[in-house]
Structure 1
Amino acid sequence: MTPVISTQAAEASQYFPETGHTVSGKFLDYWRNNGGLPTYGYPITDAQMETDPETGKQFLTQWFERHRLELHPENAGTKYEVLAGLLGKDLRREALAVDPDFQKADVLNNTAYSKDVQCYFPETVK
């Protein structure tokens, strides 16, 4: 289904009847210029203030089916003014809070292959 563009300030906002939410301003510009519907999906919230649990800073945030976008005024005038949230990092932090077994594992040697054919890349482990 094709999104409907609002008749009020059509260039500044777009209403999606599929979810009942609107994307506006810098979020809409970013959404349109970086993949739109196929990349981000439909908006599933309106823009709202959310607090980053690591820094305590608040950002205007909007959630989409496949991404979360954040407005970073400290980056105003740059291509980093709108950033995609780090969902994997957030998921890991939440999982650790709920399930302490969700911990970083030690590097394991694959015993199915002899050591001379195993590859280990230490730069991928933090």
Structure 2
Amino acid sequence: MKIQGRLPAGDRDGLTALEPAVTKNRSPLVAIVILDPKRIDEDVDTGHREAVMRIRSVEALLPDDLDAALRLLRRAYEHRTGAVTLPIDLEDELRDVFTNINFETGEVSDDDEAASE
């Protein structure tokens, strides 16, 4: 598979406006990209077909969304490679349970106060 090397035009390009920040800070971006096939090339001798994908839309993620996006990325990778994963809602529940444990007493609270104590 190949990806056509240009960003979409207009309001579907959520990256170009961030270029000054990237060139100044040299920081990576995490983005969501929507791709679709532009064309499919076929070698008539071998029958091998290769998709050439185009970027339909791309948006950089907000800092507050990075944790969720990285979890989704990890889960997709694990699914593709055959690794076992927890359902995302169970993963969220487990994280919440551990957040609400008072590690001095071992008590679990229904509110966020236990995590800050």
TM-score by length of 2: 0.31
Work out which structure has the larger RCO, using CA pairs closer than 8 Å and 6 or more positions apart in sequence.
2
- Larger proportion of strand: 2
Question: How does the TM-score come out when normalised to structure 1?
Answer: 0.30
The structure whose residues are more often helix, as a share, is: 2
